[in-house]
Amino acid sequence: MSLNSLPKTTSKKKKRIGRGYGSGKGGHTVGRGQKGQKSRHQPFLLFEGKKTQKSLLRRLPLLRGKDKFKPRQEKAIIINLDQLSGFPAGEKVSLEVLVKRGLVKKDEAKRGVKILGRGEIKKPLEVTLPCSKGAREKIEKAGGKIYV
């Protein structure tokens, strides 16, 4: 391979500023102007130009209290007893069954489910989910069992 058969390159390398006079873009201020914050270093990313104006981060509300650094936890999905009244007697009520029947969405199931005591239940059910105290009493009164 000879030098005259190499392909021609049309792109030039970027000038490296501030690397002396020999770099082609060097010397005293190297394209940054004369004085000021931007001539010495880059300003803070969220800096908004004035001392008197509050920056975006300072305008946002703070989370208060001792749990402000903990990750926000999503609460469990609430199912009431009146929603379980359509189940046949003696059926097991679990998370998979609720997803199958469409009472809980599949992607929301990871949050967990809790049964609360609003409404009445007449049929005995076998529940394998956490329940409130009132829901537990009503399920056991109807002849059902709770396995949690």
Domains of the chain: 77-146 (3.100.10.10)
Give residue 33's pLDDT band: very low, low, confident or very high (50, 70, 90). Answer: confident
- pLDDT at residue 20, as a whole number: 85
Q: Is the torsion defined by CA of 16, 18, 24, 25 positive or negative?
A: positive
CB atoms within 10 A of CB 25: 14
* Tokens coding 148: 């949690």
Give residue 115's pLDDT band: very low, low, confident or very high (50, 70, 90). Answer: very high
- pLDDT at residue 132, as a whole number: 93
* Tokens coding 146: 């709770």
3-class SS letters over 63-109: CCCCCCCCCCCCCCEEEEHHHCCCCCCCCEECHHHHHHHCCCCCCCH
- pLDDT at residue 15, as a whole number: 82
Q: At residue 55, does pLDDT exceed 80?
A: no
Q: What is the pLDDT of residues 61-92, one digit of tens each?
A: 888 888 888 887 788 899 999 998 888 888 89
**pTM here?**
0.52
